[in-house]
Structure 1
Amino acid sequence: MKYNNIIEIEYNDYINGKSIKKVFELEKNLIKEDYSESSLFVSKVEGESMQPLIKDNAFVIADLSKKEFINEDIFLIFKENKMWIKKAFILNEEELFVSINPKFSHLKYKKEDCRIIAKVLLFFNDA
């Protein structure tokens, strides 16, 4: 049953090499900024570059309609034929996407070398 205050987002999870369609449900009031409900999607994080904030295997809710670089916000970006999750950061007037985890501090990408896919609005480390 769908309630007015619940958002349902379909996504594919890959288990044992098979794609399984699932539905992620969340309350609308969890998102604290403007968003386009039809542009929301779910992605599962693989990797530790955003730890301790966003852990390996966390789920993120992102908005495809939000592509404006905003310092200190988190984005899904496309670089080197891969999708990455990175924090927007301005250093010496240069716009970068960086990792939070110091072990991955070498992963810095210039904004102009990337394509912003979506802004991350929420994440769930233990979903």
Structure 2
Amino acid sequence: MTEFVLATVLGLLFALGTFLVLRRDVVRVVWGVSIISQAANVYLVTMGVMDGGVPVLGHHGEGAGAVTDPLVQALVLTAIVIGFGTTAFALVLTYRVYEEHGTIDLLQLGRGGDADDV
């Protein structure tokens, strides 16, 4: 049952991120990429479970149950920090584009015109 709920939540997060990436607003695209990134991090953490017990103790920790791989946790923590930095940088660049062009609509920016040209 837990696996079904987790798979549903991850599917919804990936769907929401994809929906936001396909929008015309640059801020929504940035948030969509961020949501997809975080959904991938959650997926990696959930798949990093080792069923063999505690690896340091060998067979002495058999009653401990499933243990999460610490390497996966370290990599995901690093990915979270890098993702936060790149999201903040992308939002600052979006603000700079808005100051320069007066719009954050991708279609207007693709045409190379300002908001007044529409």
TM range (shorter): under 0.3
Q: TM-score, normalised by structure 1?
A: 0.21
Q: Which has the higher helix share?
A: 2
Q: Which has the higher strand share?
A: 1
